Every structure is written in structure tokens, then in C-alpha cells.
Amino acid sequence: MMIRKVIMGKHKHEANGKKEQLKWTENMDNFFIQAMIAQQENGNRVNGNFTTHAYNNMVAELRTKLQMDFTKNHLKNRLKTLKEHFSQWYDMFHGTSLSGFTWNSSTQLIEAEEEVWDKLIESKPDAAAWKTKKVSNFNKMLELFSKDRATGAHAVTAKERNAQLQKNDNINADTNLDMEDFLAANDVTLESQYNIDDDIQLVDCTEQSSSEKKIKNRKRKLGQEAEDFTSKLIKSLDDVALAIREGNKILERVYHREYTGDEIYKELEPMGLEPHEMPMAFNYLVENQAKARSVFTCPVHIRLSILKCMMGLSYKAI
């Protein structure tokens, strides 16, 4: 089978310096997101970045499944766009952990009571657009990107933590706290990093007043408390993201039952399909869960005719 070319030949574009851009559809996004999750589960994503091996695998997979001539740059550019879209609604609703908001898997909309929306829109006018804007692949996007946002946009910075500590205890702590390990995962560099030599100096004990000793001891204590706070914060955010993912998976199974292969086969057996039709019907319903729900919830005496109509088979009255 011929693979459709995404980028036209150079002879058509070198003259005007333009390249044909790949237009992504929702179906293409679905395959790409699933491919990213598979590579992540296989350990081909390190510190939030996919490896070259992961991109090679995803390019090969998407070319095979969608019959399009994808390149590594196509996937990198689309990943950047997906992250930007994810960041917009995640930052607005904190991943729907914002009180009163939920994600509806059927409509793919973030939903809440009108008075809840009104309060949010009053404080954030941009939120109004999200009442009708679909958020596709909610759970999968959380699985891919929520940890990055938690340690990035929503992480408490060293500067913010210093300000908080100064407010609680009137101590001059101008030096940034030691956050190298915490910020490394988000590629953040502090211009003025905490240096332990700033606090520990070799001085004559007779020249150092007791008040200076107390201040230094309290600074060290604050530094330890800040590290403990950071660890607890990261763990709490991870727990919240996990709870949201698990909760939505449960809701999806409640509202949209998924039949197992064994259940589908048992439902097909009494329908009177010909032996050669059984494998085709089985594969068709396994791949189309919505069709399976429609067939198995309709009256028994018309299930065979409905199934054959769906599959495009000629119907024979039984």
C-alpha cells in the first residue's frame, strides 16, 4: 500500500521557500498520545523527555497505522502544541482539582454548576471560553504531562518560599534556598544559588556574638524545613494527580461499559451467526466498543439484524 506523503517534493517549495505543514486531526492525536504513553511505560522517557529510540518507534508506529509519512520533527512540533494546550486548561483548573469542576468523558467538556463558573470567570475572564471548548484525552494527557506542570508552573519557587519564611519569622534570609535537585527536573537554573560558605565561615569565636550564632542556627533550621516542605508538596501533588486519573477511569467504566473478549463471545453465541461470520463479528465488536454496547443493549430478537447492518453484511431473516 502506498504511503501518503506529508511534505511535498522540494521542487515545488524551494522556489517560494515554503513548506507544507501537517494538519493534525483528532484521530491522529489519539494515535500519537497512545504511542507516547506506550513509550513512557517502556522506559523511553527520561526526565520528561522522549529518547531518540522512542521517537523512532513512534514514527514507525504512526506511519504503519495512519499510512502517512511522519517525521521526527512532526512529532516534536505536535508534542509542543499538545503541551501548550494542556498547560492552558491545567493552569486554569489545576487539572480539575479546582472545587466544583469535573471532566465529562462523553462530551469531553470541563463541567460545573453555573454559579461555580460565574465565580471563576469573575476572577479569570479567560475561563469563559472553556465552557464550550473540548478537552480530548483528558486522562492520558494527565498521565503524560501533569507531573511536569506540578514541578514547573505550580511548583513553589525558592524565592516564593523565602518570602513565606520571612513573613512567618522575621529573619533576613536573602540567599536562595538549595533547590538544585528539585529544579533539575524542570531545567531551571538559579542565577544566585545558595552557597553553604555564605553561612559557614572560619572566624574567631571571641568576635562572634551570640546573636549572630542564633541567626545562623535559625537559618539552617529554615533551610531544613524548606526541604521537608518541598518533598511533602511534590508528594501531595503527585497523589492529587493520581487520584484524579483513577477517579476518571472509574467514571468512564461506569458510564461506558467495556466488554471483554469473553463477554462479547458469550453474547454472540446465541445470535445465530454462521461459523464463518463469528470471527468477523467478534473482531468488529472488540474494536468498536460503542457498537458492542448498542448491539447488546437492544432487544434480543433484532440484535442479529442490527449487527449485520453495522458490519455491512447481507441480512437473512431467521
Give the whole-angstrom CA distance, residue 70 versus residue 22: 9
CB-CB contact of 318 with 272 (8 Å): yes
Q: Where are the beta strands (DSSP E) in the chain?
A: 45-46, 49-50, 102-104, 109-111
Say if strands 45-46 and 49-50 run parallel, antiparallel, or are unpaired: antiparallel
Residue type, 52: T
Of 97, 91, 83, which is closest to residue 137 (Cα–Cα)? 83
DSSP 8-class letter at 127: G
pLDDT of residue 146: 80
Q: What are phi and psi of 119, to 5 degrees?
A: -65, -40
pLDDT of residue 175: 33
Q: Each residue of 47-100: pLDDT tens digit?
A: 889 999 999 999 999 999 999 999 999 999 999 999 988 888 777 776 555 667
151 pLDDT higher than 80: no
Of 11, 55, 7, which is closest to residue 35 (Cα–Cα)? 55
Q: Each residue of 132-142: pLDDT tens digit?
A: 888 888 888 88
Which residues are paired to 49 by β-bridges? 46
pLDDT of residue 100: 76
301 pLDDT higher than 70: yes
177 pLDDT higher than 90: no
The arithmetic mean of pLDDT across residues 104-131, rounded, is 84
pLDDT category at 237 given cuts 50, 70, 90 is confident
pLDDT of residue 253: 57
pLDDT category at 178 given cuts 50, 70, 90 is very low
pLDDT category at 120 given cuts 50, 70, 90 is confident
pLDDT-wise least confident of 89-98, 100-109, 119-128: 89-98
pLDDT-wise least confident of 155-169, 239-253, 302-316: 155-169
**Which has more confidence, 81 or 247?**
81
CB-CB contact of 161 with 178 (8 Å): no
